[in-house]
Amino acid sequence: MLPVRYDPSVSEPKWQAYWKKPEVYKAAFAFDPSGKPYVIDTPPPFTSGEPHMGTVYFTIIVDTLARYKRARGYSVLLPQGWDTHGLPTELRVQYDLKVDKSNVSRFRKACRDFTRTTIESIKSGMIAVGYRPDWEAYEYTTDDPDYIKAVQLSLILMYKAGLVYRKKFPVYWCPHCGTVVSQAEVGYVEREGVLAYVRFRGADGSPGLVVATTRPELLYACVGVFVSPKDDRYSSMVGKEVKVPLGGWTVKVMADDAVDMSFGTGAVMVATFGDEQDIRWQLKYSLPIRQVVDQDGRMKDAGELTGLKLTEARKKALDILKEVGLLERLVPIRHNVLSHTERQSCMNPVEFIPLDQLMIKMSFMKDIVMRGAEGMAWHPALMLERVRAWHDSLEWDWVISRQRVFGTPLPFWVCADCGELIPAKEADLPVDPSVQSPPVPACPACGSKNLIGVKDVADGWVDSSITPLWITGFFKNKELFEKLYPVDVRQQGYEIIRTWFWYSAFRGIALTGRPPFKSVLVNGMILAPDGKPMSKSRGNVINPLDAVRQYGADPLRYGLLSLTVGADFPFRWEAVKRGRALLQKIWSAYRLVSSLPVVPVEEPPSVGSPLDHWILQRLAETEVSYTKAMDDFRFNEALDAFVQFFWHDLCDDYLESAKPRASQGDPDVMKTLGFVFRSSLSLFAPFLPHLAEEIYQDLGWGKEPSVHAVPWPQQPAYSTVMAKRGGSLLTLISRVRSAKVAHGFSLGQRVSWAELSFDEDVDPAELSHLISDVLRIDQVKVRKGPFSVEFGPGEQRSKPRAYG
Ligand SMILES: [Zn+2]
Ligand SMILES: [Zn+2]
């Protein structure tokens, strides 16, 4: 007999520990390559912080999916990786732990130690919500030597396919963080600024024209002036030379369609490199390069501005222009400034700096990647539009080198004389060219012995974008790879579609010729209760582990899974409380059943009563809508279908009317209850895994070591005709119940007699029996006719009896 109250705080840690036992792991959670595989590519979280709602949310989604698929007969591969490398980790180790970066090997070790601590903390948070991936065989970290080897091999394969090259290229550079950032890491931030109207006099002494710019310090990098070919104001100027203020040299006035006639004066200057348009024009018109910003964000080769920080240089440039009479006016504006937006703690403007970088050719493949994405099943379908928008805006190749320390070493050497790129030998991987000697004595292109190891490390997305290849065995086990690739589902948040999704799709296609995913499940964000993103500075962060401590992991799972996957939702304590109430409802129902001589049956019963047929039909219908919803990742709809069935159909209707028969030991009811409750266990086990295990183990309802190793229940058989009659019986009971209340009786109050007429197709004897048992009416007379009911006198209300 189960205790009256279910206590998650006692039950949940117990089962989390139980699921670690080797025999339970083997029976329920281990991936068995010989089975029918179902592969989930889960996000490896950054290991720079604490477990938070986002991590817990994806964890709950994939855990529920995996438990469901296992029950459906799949051998589920649910791996869990950790994305350890990255700037955030370096910054925390450098600034929070105050480890000196100049000793590289010590610094790397400090980073590794730091990530091991954070992994343990995030992992314990994941386990506390019931997450059970295949820790034993499929946990990985991106700084494992094996994983580094795989990343390096993937780069060498791409190099051999002609996709990796080295080039001086204007890259997004964050002077604040001191590193290259990718296109995916930058965004526009609205800032206050001034628009300076600066006169460029004609080289021939004519008045020339006025250019409006927010970056007057970049006059030192000016290599041309553009106007629109449609702009009559400047048609006579096109082709003429004008003098660059500050710099003093002359540049040509050119016409190009990309000029926005309505901005400023309609004449713009090109500086190398002020913005993306400048890069386009520099390439299109082969303009010279004048690099005036260095990697610390200071001016260089810029006359009087040399050595100044950009903001100081901007002020000084305006002062000089004013002095020499070339500043026509200054207009304050709010404008969008390209900034390092991927890091909330930075958000500083980024600059373009031409640097020697390792690049991967990606832009030429963007249509192929897009077609690959279109061939995947997207959940929700609209998320594909985000991929398309990214595809349409993508212009550059992928800069994969990062001027950092804690990262995967790029497996290349460079010839100092001719610039040839020399890859490591595959047999030598993993390598660290910053300290190891080159694989060849001399440059294969020019014979020079002056070979220098690349000191930069790989962009973190280079590591994490091979996860679908890593988990399917691409680097180690080709036979397994053929069986597992492409993976069944990639689960991730929408905010990393431009990065993790795009890079993984690209690399999967580039390395194997095939897209890496059959379907993509994209979740939204759990916002704070105030509807804003959770952030420490706003003080609105909900720690998911507080919800676990207060209500339990299963109620939190219920609260998060009752949302539609894909949209953003504010966190609602109400939903968690509803989950807690559902747990108790399920518990009480099993408690009642456990007090009866019910045995769980796996074979669907063939039963006689219309009510039994009705509940079996409802179970069968629920299973159909439940499995369809689960197979489409509509978890909330599956959960709704289960709750509607269990709470209303089973507990409110069937169980109420079955109690009298059950107390008489009617074998049909016992079999039906046994089968229905046994099946229900399978329906809620993926969502409420701890509760399901507790009930399964307490009732001793199976031979498997865990409820999560129990196969999916068989569909019950029933007679539709009988089920319809059962439904009619329940409808009549419910109408008489309402009438009893309307006549001023309480539900538990005994009534001496009732006369009932009805025109439904049910057995009158059965109906009168049921009504007298379930509604406490001593004698029931029934006859055919339009529905009506009359009651005799009821017992004195001063003597209420306990019921039910
Ligand atoms: Zn930055
Ligand atoms: Zn060479």
pLDDT tens digit sequence for 747-758: 888 999 999 999
3-class secondary structure, 618 = helix
Q: What is the pLDDT of residue 803?
A: 43
Crossing angle, helix 104-128 and helix 8-18, to 10 degrees?
A: 120
Residues 3, 8, 14, CA angle at the centre, nearest 5°?
95
What is the whole-number distance in angstroms between the Cα of residue 407 and the centre of ligand 2? 27
Q: What is the pLDDT of residue 51?
A: 86
The answer to whether 627 and 40 are in contact (CB under 8 A) is no
Instruction: List, as one string, the DSSP characters of 655-724.
Output: IHHHHHHHHTT-HHHHHHHHHHHHHHHHHHTTTSHHHHHHHHHHHT--SSSSGGGSPPPPPPP--HHHHH
Closest CA to 725 of 763, 685, 680: 763
What is the whole-number distance in angstroms between the Cα of residue 416 and the centre of ligand 2? 7
| Integer Cα distance of 483 and 323 in angstroms | 73
What is the whole-number distance in angstroms between the Cα of residue 177 and the centre of ligand 1? 4
Q: Please report which ligand is nearest the Cα atom of 347.
A: 1
Q: What is the pLDDT of residue 605?
A: 83
| Integer Cα distance of 306 and 323 in angstroms | 18
The answer to whether 44 and 142 are in contact (CB under 8 A) is yes
What is the whole-number distance in angstroms between the Cα of residue 170 and the centre of ligand 2? 24
Least reliable range by pLDDT among 59-63, 74-78, 415-419, 653-657: 653-657
Q: If 0-12 CB within 10 Å is exposed, 13-18 middle and 19+ buried, where does residue 756 land? A: buried
Q: What is the pLDDT of residue 802?
A: 45
Q: Please report which ligand is nearest the Cα atom of 173.
A: 1
What is the whole-number distance in angstroms between the Cα of residue 432 and the centre of ligand 2? 20
Q: Please report which ligand is nearest the Cα atom of 445.
A: 2
Q: Please report which ligand is nearest the Cα atom of 443.
A: 2
The answer to whether 277 and 294 are in contact (CB under 8 A) is no
Task: Convert the pLDDT of each residue in 722-739 to its tens digit.
Answer: 999 999 999 999 999 999
Closest CA to 728 of 738, 739, 717, 736: 736
What is the whole-number distance in angstroms between the Cα of residue 154 and the centre of ligand 1? 28
What is the whole-number distance in angstroms between the Cα of residue 181 and the centre of ligand 2? 29
Q: Please report which ligand is nearest the Cα atom of 346.
A: 1
Q: If 0-12 CB within 10 Å is exposed, 13-18 middle and 19+ buried, where does residue 292 land? A: buried
| Integer Cα distance of 548 and 131 in angstroms | 13
First to last CA, the chain: 17
Task: Convert the pLDDT of each residue in 210-233 to its tens digit.
Answer: 999 999 999 999 999 999 999 999
How does the average pLDDT of the chain come out, rounded? 93
Whether the pLDDT of residue 109 is over 70: the answer is yes
Whether the pLDDT of residue 667 is over 60: the answer is yes
Mean pLDDT of 128-153: 97
Q: Please report which ligand is nearest the Cα atom of 450.
A: 2
- Position 563 confidence tier, pLDDT thresholds 50, 70, 90: very high
Q: What is the pLDDT of residue 402?
A: 87
The answer to whether 264 and 212 are in contact (CB under 8 A) is yes
What's the Rg (C-alpha) of the chain?
Answer: 35
Least reliable range by pLDDT among 27-41, 45-59, 154-168, 757-771: 757-771
Closest CA to 693 of 522, 515, 554, 788: 554
Q: Regarding beta strands 75-77 and 37-41, do their DSSP bridges make them parallel or antiparallel, or are they unpaired? A: parallel
Beta bridge partners of 82: 141
How many CB atoms are closer than 10 A to CB 738?
11
Whether the pLDDT of residue 275 is over 50: the answer is yes
Q: Please report which ligand is nearest the Cα atom of 349.
A: 1
Percentage above 70 pLDDT, the chain: 99
What is the whole-number distance in angstroms between the Cα of residue 448 and the centre of ligand 2? 5
The whole-angstrom distance between residue 584's C-alpha and the CA centroid of its chain comes to 31
The answer to whether 141 and 115 are in contact (CB under 8 A) is yes
Task: Convert the pLDDT of each residue in 409-418 to its tens digit.
Answer: 999 999 999 9
The answer to whether 459 and 401 are in contact (CB under 8 A) is yes
The whole-angstrom distance between residue 157's C-alpha and the CA centroid of its chain comes to 29
Whether the pLDDT of residue 168 is over 90: the answer is no
Q: Please report which ligand is nearest the Cα atom of 87.
A: 1
State which residues have CB under 5 angstroms from ligand 1, the bound ion: 174, 176-177, 340, 346
Percentage above 90 pLDDT, the chain: 77
DSSP 23: H
State which residues have CB under 5 angstroms from ligand 2, the bound ion: 415, 417-418, 420, 443, 445-446, 448
Q: What is the pLDDT of residue 560?
A: 97
Mean pLDDT of 559-572: 95
Q: What is the pLDDT of residue 800?
A: 46
The whole-angstrom distance between residue 381's C-alpha and the CA centroid of its chain comes to 15
Q: Please report which ligand is nearest the Cα atom of 351.
A: 1
Mean pLDDT of 120-129: 96
What is the whole-number distance in angstroms between the Cα of residue 340 and the centre of ligand 1? 5
Q: What is the pLDDT of residue 305?
A: 94
3-class secondary structure, 294 = coil
| Integer Cα distance of 407 and 173 in angstroms | 18
- Position 797 confidence tier, pLDDT thresholds 50, 70, 90: low
- Per-residue burial over 37-51, b = 16 or more CB atoms within 10 Å of its CB, e = otherwise: bbbbbbbbbbbbeeb
Task: Convert the pLDDT of each residue in 314-368 to its tens digit.
Answer: 999 999 999 999 999 999 999 999 999 877 778 999 999 888 889 999 989 999 9
How many CB atoms are closer than 10 A to CB 800?
12
Closest CA to 130 of 693, 689, 692: 689
Which amino acid is located at 613 in the chain?
A: H
Q: What is the pLDDT of residue 90?
A: 87
How many CB atoms are closer than 10 A to CB 129?
27
| Integer Cα distance of 23 and 469 in angstroms | 29
Q: What is the pLDDT of residue 129?
A: 98
What is the whole-number distance in angstroms between the Cα of residue 308 and the centre of ligand 1? 19
Q: What is the pTM of this model?
A: 0.85
Task: Convert the pLDDT of each residue in 477-524 to its tens digit.
Answer: 999 999 999 999 999 999 999 999 999 999 999 999 999 999 999 999
| Integer Cα distance of 556 and 539 in angstroms | 21
Closest CA to 582 of 698, 680, 707: 680
The answer to whether 311 and 320 are in contact (CB under 8 A) is no
Q: Between 676 and 395, where is the model more confident?
A: 676
Tokens of 216: 């007057």
3-class secondary structure, 50 = coil
| Integer Cα distance of 183 and 14 in angstroms | 47
Whether the pLDDT of residue 474 is over 50: the answer is yes
Q: Please report which ligand is nearest the Cα atom of 180.
A: 1
What is the whole-number distance in angstroms between the Cα of residue 444 and the centre of ligand 2? 7
| Integer Cα distance of 447 and 460 in angstroms | 34
Separation in Å, CA 101 to CA 110, 111, 405? 10, 10, 8
Closest CA to 467 of 409, 406, 511: 511
How many CB atoms are closer than 10 A to CB 421?
16
How many CB atoms are closer than 10 A to CB 371?
12
What is the whole-number distance in angstroms between the Cα of residue 453 and the centre of ligand 2? 13
**Dihedral sign, Cα of residue 673, residue 679, residue 683, residue 688:** positive
Whether the pLDDT of residue 396 is over 90: the answer is no
Tokens of 228: 């629109």
